[in-house]
Amino acid sequence: MPRFALLIDYDGTPFSGWQRQAAGQASVQGAVEAALARLEPGPHTIAAAGRTDSGVHATGQVATVDLSRDWDPFRLSEALNWHLKPAPVAIVRAARVADDFHARFSAVERRYLFRLVARRAPVTHDKGRVWQVLNPLDLSAMQAGAAHLVGLHDFTTFRSTMCQSKGPVKTLDEVTITEHAYVGGVEYHFALRARSFLHNQVRSIVGTLERVGAGAWSPADVATALEAKDRAACGPVCPPQGLYLTGVGYPEGPFG
């Protein structure tokens, strides 16, 4: 059966997450599989590079699916987008891939972006797409705190108690924090890159670094929390809105 990779963009607001849920709960996986069933008799099961949580968005999710027909990739993406309406999900590109290519297990890198806006007035256009705080944050302090997290560490402190990963040791390749103009305030971008992440690791890190930026924690407190290897030492876990899966890396990119 021909195997295809799909590059998927979605607004996670109305979904209970990527993964297919019980009846009555909308999921991104369920929406894409339902669209596939309109093209070929199902059921279909697709595999994704990352199982994003409820309310989390993606601009670069990747999924693989086996189909009976050898579709032209462009026509496949166009047909899926037609049947996905009106769900806020889009197939940006489709590509024919080797039979041993797997969206999850072939990935060597995942990239996330978290958007945090600081301003007094409520956000309007970005409601549900950013985390809003009221006061500006100390960028330099957050950058200093983030530096303690880069590299190979036991991330038990920044791991959900429901995490299903085999172990807490991960290599965080990058945490970059930048500041950008925003109407009536300022927007902070937290870009994180690693081969793989623990459940709630990104949200735990950003929530902790926000406390550093607000002056409630010192940068050194981040190192102390990491070394504690204790979930209770973590700062607040930030909300899912504002988190985006922006890209997945492979030894040979399926989309050129």
Q: Which residues pair with 61 in a beta bridge?
A: 8
- Identify the residue whose tokens are 């026509």: 75
Q: Locate tokens 């870009």: which residue?
A: 191
User: What does each C-alpha distance from 78 to 44, 189, 210 come to in angstroms?
Assistant: 18, 32, 41
Q: Which of 9, 11, 53, 230 is catalytic?
A: 53
| DSSP 8-state symbol, 53 | B
Instruction: State both tokens at 92.
Output: 């940006």
Cβ pair 205, 112 in contact under 8 A: no
Whether 138 sits among the annotated catalytic residues: the reply is: no
Q: Give phi and psi for 35, each to the nearest 5.
A: -65, -40
Question: What's phi and psi for 108, nearest 5 deg?
Answer: -115, -5
Q: What is the DSSP letter of 158?
A: G
Give yes or no for a contact between 241 and 13, defined as CB atoms under 8 angstroms apart: yes
Which residues are catalytic, by number? 53
